[in-house]
C-alpha cells in the first residue's frame, strides 16, 4: 500500500494537528535535551521571520488561507511577541515542509494548535535580537528592551534590521522557558488588525488555484462516471482528439486511497476547448452497485434501522423504565432528518502540476498540502523530496479541500503530458462528485417530570457514516455522534443508539462535520422538552444545565471536557443581547440554541417573521466563547460566515440522490441564501482568558435549531426535517 | 476568425472559436485572471465584467458578441485600489476567501452608476443574484452603502 492510499481520517488528522510544533534551524542543529529524543530545530529568524535592512518584517504562516483569516491571525501572534509594528509586517505562506509541523488546516484548529508555538518562536526571536544588541553594546541583555522593531538600552537604539544578521547566528533560546508576554502586555492579540489578504482580493491580483499560470501550461478536464462508484467500461475519444487544440485524451484510474473517481481525461490548449472536447467523448460506463440508490431508498433504510434494535453506544440510568413511567403528556418522541449537503466552494476543485523528468512542481488550493504531496508522489512515482507543493489561495474550503482526489488526478494527467497541466473541475463536476455531509435520521424519545427535570432522553440515529466510507478502524458511530457524547443537560436517564446505513454516496467533512447535524437535533429536542414542561426554552436550558460541571467524552479520553458554566454563559449573553423575553409583534418569534464543538461554545438567538407561509430571518445574535480572542473582527467574520452557511443548509440547499447520482449539479438547483434573505447578524465575544480555540466552524451548529425554534415560537409549527420545504409553514 | 475589442483601455485581438465565452478568453487567452469562473451558467455572478459600461456575466457571453466593444474587468478599475468601491470593500473588510468579490465589486459599481443614492433595500435587490459562500452579504451591503456615501458627483 503506497503512502497516499493509507486511509487518513479526520480523527487521526486532528490528533496529529494537536502535536507540538517543531521549531528549528534551517540548517538543523541538535537540541541538547537529554531525556527526550533529539529534534531538528528551525531558526525562527529564518523559518518564521525575515527582516530586511529597511525594517520590513516578513512573517510566514504555515496553515492554508481559505478565507478564514489565518494569513492575518497567525502572523499577528508572531508579531506581538516579536515586538514589531504591524505596518512593517508582510506575510507569506510557509513552504510545504514537515519542519513547520502539521500544515493541515481544518477542525477549526489553526489558532488552537499554533498559538503557543508561534508565541514561543516570536519570543525566541525577540530574545535573540536583544542578545545581539547587548553584545554590540557590551551591556547585559537584562538592561535592554525590545519594542517597535528595535532594541533599546537607555537612549541607545538598534533596529531589528541592523541586528538580524548577528542575531540569527545566535543559539535559539529554550522554547519551553523563553519569556512570553503577559496577556496585559499584548499589543495586537485581542485588539485586532486589518486582514492581510484583503487588498489583493479587491483588485483581482490574489492568485487562487485556478489563477496559476505557468509558461507552456495546458488545461485538462476529466469525464467521471455520474453514478457514485461507477467505472469506465470502454470509451472512444477519437472525436474529442480530432478537435483543433486538443492534445490528448486518455483514461485515468480511480484510487481507493483518496477516493478519486478515475475516468477519461481530456487535455487541450484552453479550459473551454477541454470542456468542449469532453462533450465529444463516447463512454460506456459500468455503473456498479450504487446505480439504484436514491434519497427515497435511503430514507426507507433509515426508518427501518431506527425502528429496529440498534447498537447501544452510551447508556446511563434506565431509560426504558423512565419512559414507561412518564405520563403521556410529558413524553415527547420526534424524528429528525437531515440531507446530504455539498460544500459548493465558489472556486471549483483544481490543481496545477508540472512533471519535469525526475522532479515535479505543483500549485494546489489545498487544506492539506502534505496529503496533496503524498497523492502527487503516488501518482507520479516521484519521491516526496523531489516534489515542490505551493499552497495557493483558495476560493473556499469548508472541508472539501482537505481531500486529495483532485491533486492525484492532476498528477495522473501531468505524468502523461510533458507540460504543465491545470486540471479544472467544472461546477457540475464539483457538485456531482463532492464528499458530502452525511445524510442522517434521528429518533429521540424522552420525558420531563412535573418539576421540569429531564427524566429520559433516548437518541437513536443512523447515517451514512464517514468512518465507514473511509474504512476507519474506529467504529462507524465515531464520526457521527459529536456532542451527544458530552451531553450538557442533566438527564436522569440517557441512552445513545446507532447503526450505520449502506450508501455509495461519498461523504466526508463538511463545515462543522457531525456538529452540523447533532447541534440541530439536540437543540431542537431540548426545545421540545421545554415546551412539554411548559417552561420558557431559555429558562429551561439554564435549569437543566444544573450546577457547573465538566462533562467528559466517555469514548475519547483525549477530548477536552465540556464546561457547563461556559455553555451557560454564552446562552446568557445571547439571551441578554437579543432582548430575550421582550415582546414581539404577531407573526414573529425568537428561538435560542447553543452548542459545543471544536472546544468552542456558541449560542445563537434567531428572530423570524412568518407571513403567508414564508419565513424571513430578521436578526441573529450570537455569543461565542473561544477562550482568548486573537483577531476580534476576524472572529466576527467567521461567525457571520458560519451562520449564513448554516442558514443556507437549513432554508435552501440540499443534495438529493436519484439513480445513484446527485440531482443538483449547479447553483440554479443548489440554491444559497441571497443578500435580501440575509439577516442582520450581531456577534458578541466573551472576553475569555483560557487557551484559544477555533471559530471557523462552531458558529454553524446552533444556527439551524435557533431558526426552527424561532419558527415554532412564531407559528407553533415544528420543523424536524431540513431543509425547510415549501408548504412546511402553509 | 479574429475578434477585436477593448479591454481596460487596451485594444485586443483574439483568434479563437467565436462561441468561446468571454470569461475563458479573458482568463486563458489574455491572462486576466481576476474575473472568476464559478458556475458557467450565469447563476453566481463571479464572472461579472462591464461591457460598454453594463454588467455582464462573461461565462455565458460568447466572445463574438463583444466585437468592437469596450470591456472593463476588475484589473481595470484602478492601479492602486483607489476606486471608491474598492476602498469601501477594504474599509468594511468584506472579503473572506475573496473568490466571488471581483464579480461582487463589478456588480456593485454598475448598480451605483444607475442608482448613486441607494437604500439598503435597493442594495439587497441589486446584489442578491451574486453568490458568496463565505456569507459576506452583510459586509457587502455596508460597503456598497459606504461607497455611495463617500462618492460625490460622478466619482463612481
Q: What is the pLDDT of residues A420-453, one digit of tens each?
A: 999 999 999 999 999 999 999 999 999 999 999 9
pLDDT surpasses 80 at A14:
no
B152 touches A: beta carbon within 8 Å: no
**pLDDT higher for A5 or A550?**
A550
Sheet holding A156-159, edge to edge: A145-147, A150-153, A156-159
pLDDT surpasses 80 at A307:
yes
Please, which residues have CB within 8 angstroms of residue A124's CB and are 6 or more apart in sequence?
Answer: A23, A44, A172, A173, A175, A178
CA nearest to B40 within chain A: A427
> Residue A714: which of A619, A611, A603, A644 has the closest Cα?
A611
Contacts of B86 in chain A (CB under 8 A): 202-203
Q: What is the percent of chain B with per-residue pLDDT over 90, rounded to a whole number? A: 96
B93 touches A: beta carbon within 8 Å: yes
Residues 97-136 of chain B whose Cβ lies under 8 A from any Cβ of chain A? 97-102, 105, 121, 123-125, 127-136
pLDDT surpasses 50 at A564:
yes
Rounded CA-CA distance B37/B26 in Å is 11
Interface test with A, best of B22, B26, B134 (most A CBs within 10 A): B134
Rounded CA-CA distance B59/A346 in Å is 14
E strand map for chain B: 2-7, 10-15, 48-51, 54-57, 70-72
What's the grid cell of residue A702? 446552533
Q: Which of B38, B133, B137 sits opposite A427 (nearest CB)?
A: B38
Distance from CA of A389 to the nearest CA of B (A): 20
Q: Quick one: pLDDT at residue B64?
A: 97
Task: Say if the Cβ atoms of B28 and A219 lie within 8 Å.
Answer: yes
Task: Say if the Cβ atoms of A202 and B90 lie within 8 Å.
Answer: yes
Task: Say if the Cβ atoms of B93 and A637 lie within 8 Å.
Answer: yes
Q: Quick one: pLDDT at residue A726?
A: 87
Rounded CA-CA distance A597/A11 in Å is 14
Q: Answer for the pair A387, A362: CB distance below 8 angstroms, yes or no.
A: yes
CA nearest to B91 within chain A: A194
- The alpha helices in A534-651, defined as continuous H runs, are 537-545, 564-578, 632-651
pLDDT surpasses 70 at A208:
yes
Q: Using pLDDT thresholds of 50, 70 and 90, give the confidence band for residue A647.
A: very high
Query: What is the interface pTM, i.e. ipTM, of the complex?
Result: 0.98
Q: Quick one: pLDDT at residue A721?
A: 98
Q: Using pLDDT thresholds of 50, 70 and 90, give the confidence band for residue B156.
A: low
Q: Answer for the pair B52, B68: CB distance below 8 angstroms, yes or no.
A: no
CATH architecture of A209-288+349-424: 2-Layer Sandwich (3.30)
The per-residue pLDDT for range A84-93, each reduced to its tens digit, is 999 999 999 9
Contacts of B106 in chain A (CB under 8 A): none
Contacts of A246 in chain B (CB under 8 A): none
pLDDT surpasses 80 at A29:
no
Task: Say if the Cβ atoms of B36 and A344 lie within 8 Å.
Answer: no
pLDDT mean over A536-562: 96
pLDDT mean over A618-637: 98
Average pLDDT, chain B: 96
What is the dotted CATH code of the domain comprising A3-201?
Answer: 3.30.365.10
Contacts of A395 in chain B (CB under 8 A): 36, 97-100
Task: Say if the Cβ atoms of A666 and B127 lie within 8 Å.
Answer: no
Task: Say if the Cβ atoms of A204 and B99 lie within 8 Å.
Answer: no
The per-residue pLDDT for range A141-155, each reduced to its tens digit, is 999 999 999 999 999
Rounded CA-CA distance A636/B94 in Å is 12
pLDDT surpasses 80 at A660:
yes
Q: Using pLDDT thresholds of 50, 70 and 90, give the confidence band for residue A418.
A: confident
Contacts of B98 in chain A (CB under 8 A): 67, 197-198, 200-201, 206, 208, 393, 395
Task: Say if the Cβ atoms of A204 and B90 lie within 8 Å.
Answer: no
Q: Quick one: pLDDT at residue A39?
A: 55
Sheet holding A614-625, edge to edge: A588-597, A600-611, A614-625, A680-685
Q: Answer for the pair A44, A124: CB distance below 8 angstroms, yes or no.
A: yes
Domains A209-288+349-424 and A295-341+436-715 share a fold: yes
The per-residue pLDDT for range B53-107, each reduced to its tens digit, is 999 999 999 999 999 999 999 999 999 999 999 999 999 999 999 999 999 999 9
Rounded CA-CA distance A591/A571 in Å is 12
Rounded CA-CA distance A552/A570 in Å is 19
Please, which residues have CB within 8 angstroms of residue A429's CB and are 6 or more apart in sequence?
Answer: A221, A222, A224, A348, A349
Distance from CA of A40 to the nearest CA of B (A): 34
Rounded CA-CA distance A388/A398 in Å is 25
The residue ranges of every structural domain in chain A are 3-201, 209-288+349-424, 295-341+436-715
Q: Quick one: pLDDT at residue A730?
A: 86
Distance from CA of B7 to the nearest CA of A (A): 15
Nearest-Å Rg of the Cα atoms of chain A is 27
Q: Answer for the pair A442, A477: CB distance below 8 angstroms, yes or no.
A: no
- Count of CB contacts below 8 A, A vs B? 184
pLDDT mean over A48-77: 96
Q: Using pLDDT thresholds of 50, 70 and 90, give the confidence band for residue A646.
A: very high
The per-residue pLDDT for range A173-203, each reduced to its tens digit, is 999 999 999 999 999 999 989 999 999 999 9
Q: What is the percent of chain A with per-residue pLDDT over 90, rounded to a whole number? A: 93
Q: Quick one: pLDDT at residue A662?
A: 98
Q: Quick one: pLDDT at residue A295?
A: 98
Rounded CA-CA distance A275/A408 in Å is 20
Nearest-Å Rg of the Cα atoms of chain B is 15
Residues 43-72 of chain B whose Cβ lies under 8 A from any Cβ of chain A? 43-44, 46
pLDDT mean over A202-208: 98
Q: Quick one: pLDDT at residue B152?
A: 60
Q: Quick one: pLDDT at residue A34?
A: 39
Contacts of A347 in chain B (CB under 8 A): 36, 38, 97, 99
Contacts of B131 in chain A (CB under 8 A): 346, 667, 672, 674
Q: Using pLDDT thresholds of 50, 70 and 90, give the confidence band for residue A53.
A: confident
Task: Say if the Cβ atoms of A197 and B95 lie within 8 Å.
Answer: yes
Q: Which of B21, B86, B102 sits opposite A272 (nearest CB)?
A: B21
Distance from CA of A531 to the nearest CA of B (A): 32
What is the dotted CATH code of the domain comprising A295-341+436-715?
Answer: 3.30.365.10
Task: Say if the Cβ atoms of A675 and B46 lie within 8 Å.
Answer: no
pLDDT surpasses 60 at A31:
no
pLDDT mean over A367-391: 98
pTM for this model (two decimals): 0.95
Distance from CA of A99 to the nearest CA of B (A): 27
Task: Say if the Cβ atoms of A69 and B96 lie within 8 Å.
Answer: yes
pLDDT surpasses 70 at A401:
yes
Q: Answer for the pair A551, A486: CB distance below 8 angstroms, yes or no.
A: yes
Contacts of B135 in chain A (CB under 8 A): 640-645, 673, 678
pLDDT mean over A226-236: 98
Task: Say if the Cβ atoms of A207 and B33 lie within 8 Å.
Answer: yes
Average pLDDT, chain A: 94
B90 touches A: beta carbon within 8 Å: yes
Q: What structural domains does chain B harbor?
A: 2-76 (3.10.20.30), 84-150 (1.10.150.120)
Q: Answer for the pair A524, A705: CB distance below 8 angstroms, yes or no.
A: yes
pLDDT mean over A329-358: 97
Q: Quick one: pLDDT at residue A656?
A: 98
Q: Quick one: pLDDT at residue A36?
A: 43
Amino acid at each position: 500500500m503506497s503512502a497516499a492510499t493509507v486511509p487518513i481520517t479526520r480523527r487521526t488528522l486532528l490528533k496529529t494537528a494537536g502535536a507540538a510544533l517543531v521549531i528549528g534551524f534551517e540548517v538543523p542543529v541538535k537540541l541538547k535535551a537529554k531525556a527526550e529524543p533529539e529534534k531538528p530545530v528551525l531558526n525562527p529568524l529564518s523559518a518564521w521571520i525575515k527582516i530586511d535592512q529597511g525594517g520590513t518584517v516578513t512573517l510566514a504562516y504555515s496553515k492554508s488561507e481559505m478565507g478564514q483569516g489565518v494569513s492575518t491571525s497567525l502572523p499577528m501572534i508572531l508579531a506581538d511577541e516579536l515586538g514589531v509594528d504591524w505596518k512593517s509586517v508582510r506575510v507569506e505562506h510557509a513552504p510545504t515542509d514537515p519542519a513547520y509541523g502539521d500544515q493541515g488546516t481544518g477542525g477549526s484548529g489553526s489558532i488552537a494548535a499554533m498559538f503557543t508555538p508561534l508565541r514561543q518562536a516570536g519570543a525566541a526571536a525577540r530574545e535573540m535580537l536583544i542578545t545581539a544588541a547587548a553584545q554590540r553594546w557590551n551591556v547585559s541583555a537584562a538592561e535592554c528592551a525590545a519594542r517597535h522593531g528595535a532594541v533599546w538600552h537607555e537612549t541607545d537604539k538598534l533596529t531589528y534590521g541592523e541586528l538580524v544578521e548577528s542575531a540569527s547566528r545566535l543559539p535559539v533560546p529554550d522554547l519551553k522557558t523563553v519569556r512570553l508576554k503577559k496577556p496585559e502586555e499584548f499589543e495586537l492579540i485581542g485588539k485586532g488588525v486589518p486582514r492581510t489578504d484583503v487588498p489583493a482580493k479587491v483588485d483581482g491580483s490574489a492568485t487562487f488555484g485556478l489563477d496559476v499560470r505557468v509558461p507552456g501550461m495546458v488545461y485538462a478536464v476529466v469525464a467521471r462516471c455520474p453514478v457514485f462508484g461507477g467505472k469506465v467500461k470502454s470509451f472512444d475519444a477519437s472525436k474529442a482528439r480530432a478537435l483543433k487544440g486538443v492534445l490528448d485524451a486518455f483514461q485515468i484510474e480511480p484510487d481507493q486511497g483518496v477516493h478519486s473517481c478515475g475516468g477519461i481525461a481530456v487535455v487541450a490548449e484552453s479550459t473551454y476547448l477541454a470542456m468542449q472536447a469532453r462533450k465529444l467523448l463516447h463512454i460506456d460506463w459500468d455503473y456498479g452497485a450504487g446505480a439504484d440508490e436514491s434519497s427515497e431508498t435511503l430514507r426507507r433504510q433509515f426508518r427501518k434501522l431506527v425502528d429496529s434494535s440498534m447498537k447501544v453506544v452510551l447508556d446511563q440510568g434506565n431509560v426504558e423504565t423512565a419512559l414507561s413511567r412518564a405520563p403521556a403528556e410529558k413524553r415527547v418522541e420526534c424524528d429528525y432528518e437531515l440531507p446530504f449537503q455539498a460544500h459548493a466552494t465558489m472556486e471549483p476543485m483544481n490543481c496545477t502540476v508540472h512533471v519535469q523528468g525526475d522532479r515535479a512542481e505543483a500549485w494546489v488550493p489545498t487544506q492539506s498540502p502534505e496529503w496533496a504531496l503524498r497523492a502527487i508522489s503516488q501518482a507520479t512515482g516521484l519521491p516526496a523530496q523531489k516534489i515542490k507543493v505551493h499552497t495557493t489561495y483558495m476560493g473556499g474550503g469548508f472541508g472539501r479541500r482537505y481531500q486529495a482526489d483532485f491533486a492525484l488526478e492532476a498528477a495522473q494527467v501531468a505524468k502523461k503530458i510533458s507540460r504543465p497541466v491545470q486540471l479544472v473541475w467544472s461546477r457540475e463536476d464539483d457538485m456531482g462528485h463532492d464528499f458530502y455531509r452525511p445524510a442522517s435520521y434521528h429518533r429521540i424519545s424522552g420525558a420531563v417530570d412535573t418539576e421540569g427535570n429531564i427524566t429520559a432522553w433516548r437518541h437513536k440515529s443512523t447515517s451514512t457514516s464517514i468512518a465507514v466510507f473511509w474504512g476507519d478502524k474506529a467504529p462507524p458511530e465515531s464520526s457521527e455522534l459529536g456532542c451527544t457524547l458530552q451531553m450538557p443537560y442533566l438527564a436522569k436517564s440517557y441512552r445513545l443508539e446507532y447503526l450505520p446505513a449502506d450508501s455509495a454516496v461519498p461523504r466526508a467533512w463538511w463545515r462543522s462535520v457531525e456538529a452540523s447535524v447533532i447541534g440541530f437535533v439536540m437543540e431542537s429536542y431540548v426545545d421540545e422538552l421545554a415546551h412539554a414542561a411548559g417552561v420558557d426554552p431559555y429558562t429551561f436550558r439554564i435549569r437543566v444545565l444544573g450546577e457547573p460541571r465538566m462533562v467528559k467524552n466517555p469514548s475519547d479520553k483525549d477530548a477536552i471536557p465540556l464546561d457547563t458554566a461556559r455553555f451557560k454563559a454564552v446562552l446568557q449573553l445571547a439571551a441578554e443581547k437579543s432582548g430575550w423575553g421582550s415582546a414581539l409583534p404577531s407573526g414573529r418569534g425568537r428561538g435560542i440554541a447553543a452548542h459545543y464543538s471544536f472546544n468552542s461554545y456558541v449560542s445563537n438567538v434567531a428572530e423570524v417573521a412568518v407571513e403567508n407561509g414564508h419565513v424571513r430571518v430578521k436578526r441573529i445574535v450570537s455569543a461565542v466563547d473561544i477562550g482568548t480572542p486573537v483577531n476580534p473582527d476576524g472572529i466576527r467574520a467567521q461567525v457571520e460566515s458560519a451562520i449564513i452557511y448554516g442558514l443556507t443548509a437549513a432554508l435552501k440547499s440540499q443534495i438529493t440522490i436519484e439513480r445513484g447520482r446527485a440531482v443538483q449539479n449547479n447553483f440554479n438547483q443548489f440554491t444559497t441564501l441571497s443578500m435580501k434573505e440575509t439577516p442582520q447578524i450581531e456577534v458578541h465575544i466573551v472576553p475569555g482568558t483560557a487557551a484559544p480555540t477555533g471559530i471557523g466552524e462552531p458558529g454553524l451548529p446552533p444556527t439551524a435549531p435557533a431558526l426552527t425554534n424561532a419558527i415554532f415560537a412564531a407559528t407553533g409549527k415544528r420543523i424536524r426535517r431540513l431543509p425547510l420545504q415549501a408548504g412546511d409553514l402553509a | 476568425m479574429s475578434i477585436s475589442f477593448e479591454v481596460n483601455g487596451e485594444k485586443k485581438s483574439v483568434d479563437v472559436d467565436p462561441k468561446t465565452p468571454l470569461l475563458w478568453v479573458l482568463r486563458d487567452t489574455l491572462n486576466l485572471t481576476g474575473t472568476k469562473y464559478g458556475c458557467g451558467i450565469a447563476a453566481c455572478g463571479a464572472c461579472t465584467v462591464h461591457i460598454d459600461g453594463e454588467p455582464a456575466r462573461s461565462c455565458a457571453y460568447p466572445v463574438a458578441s463583444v466585437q468592437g466593444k469596450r470591456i472593463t474587468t476588475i484589473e481595470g478599475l484602478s492601479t492602486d485600489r483607489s476606486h471608491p468601491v474598492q476602498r469601501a470593500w477594504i474599509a468594511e473588510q468584506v472579503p473572506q476567501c475573496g473568490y466571488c468579490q471581483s464579480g461582487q465589486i463589478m456588480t456593485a459599481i454598475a448598480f451605483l452608476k444607475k442608482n448613486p443614492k441607494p437604500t439598503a433595500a435597493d442594495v439587497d435587490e441589486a446584489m442578491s443574484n451574486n453568490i458568496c459562500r463565505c456569507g459576506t452579504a452583510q459586509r457587502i451591503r455596508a460597503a456598497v452603502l459606504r461607497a455611495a456615501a463617500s462618492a460625490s458627483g460622478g466619482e463612481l
